[in-house]
Amino acid sequence: MEIEFKFEMMDWMALQKSYLQHSKQFRRSKLMMTALMPVVFTFLLTLDILKGEYNLLSIGILAFIAILWILFFPKYLIKSTLKRSRKLIEEGDNSAILGMHKLKFDTRGLVHTQPESEQQINWKGIIKLEESANHYFLYNTAVSAIIIPKQKISSQLTQLNEVLHEHIKR
């Protein structure tokens, strides 16, 4: 089987977003940063209460800020991380990865042809298959993957799905 598609920046960003959603390290960091502000506020309020200088208005304001922080900071963190990733990617020359890609699949593995390179990968070299609504991610390392945009190969999607699930064990 052979597929061909145009690889664009939005496809690259889909991998970044998927990685952030599934990364245990990022989840831990996000949880720690989200909890930090309420913990600091609680500490400050505790100090004020111990001194006998507490004020219901300041407690209400700090509680309100802490709730807003918990509700909105995680989404902001993801958005800002993706924005920084995009800027980093756009700084360099991406002509080697953006553009037409071709993937040839056979019983041994796949050949991935990019604008300026070609790579042959055995099926055992694909360590993980992830699927989102719009992409397949064929991870060949813990942090890099071959990205296949589903909407650009819609006529071959069923056949590709069968090939991938036949050869890649999740």
pLDDT of residue 91: 86
The 3-state DSSP class for residue 125 equals helix
Q: Are 7 and 98 in contact (CB under 8 A)?
A: yes
Q: Would you state the structure tokens that stand for residue 58, as one six-digit string? A: 């300041």
User: Do 22 and 130 contact (CB within 8 A), yes or no?
Assistant: yes
Domain ranges of the chain: 2-10+95-167, 12-91
18 vs 5: CA distance, rounded Å: 20
Q: What is the pLDDT of residue 57?
A: 86
- Percentages helix, strand, coil for the chain (3-state, rounded to 5) are 60, 25, 20
- Alpha carbon separation from 85 to 20, 60, 80, 91 (Å, rounded): 11, 37, 9, 10
Q: What is the pLDDT along the chain (170 residues), one digit of tens a residue?
A: 999 999 999 999 999 999 998 889 999 999 999 999 999 988 988 888 888 877 888 888 888 999 999 999 999 999 999 999 899 888 888 778 889 999 999 999 999 999 889 999 999 999 999 999 999 999 999 889 999 999 999 999 999 999 999 998 76
Q: In this structure, which topology does domain 2-10+95-167 adopt according to CATH?
A: PH-domain like (2.30.29)
Length of the chain: 170
The model's pLDDT over 29-76, given as tens digits with 9 standing for 90+, comes to 999 999 999 999 889 888 888 888 778 888 888 889 999 999 999 999
Tell me the sheet residues that pair with 54. none
Name the nearest CA neighbour of 156 among 46, 3, 27. 3
Tokens of 19: 């990685």
CA–CA dist 23, 139 (Å, integer)? 13
Give kind and range of the element (H or E) at residue 3: strand 2-7
Q: What is the pLDDT of residue 170?
A: 60
10 token code pair: 């939005």
In this prediction the pTM is 0.77
Average pLDDT value over all residues in the chain = 91
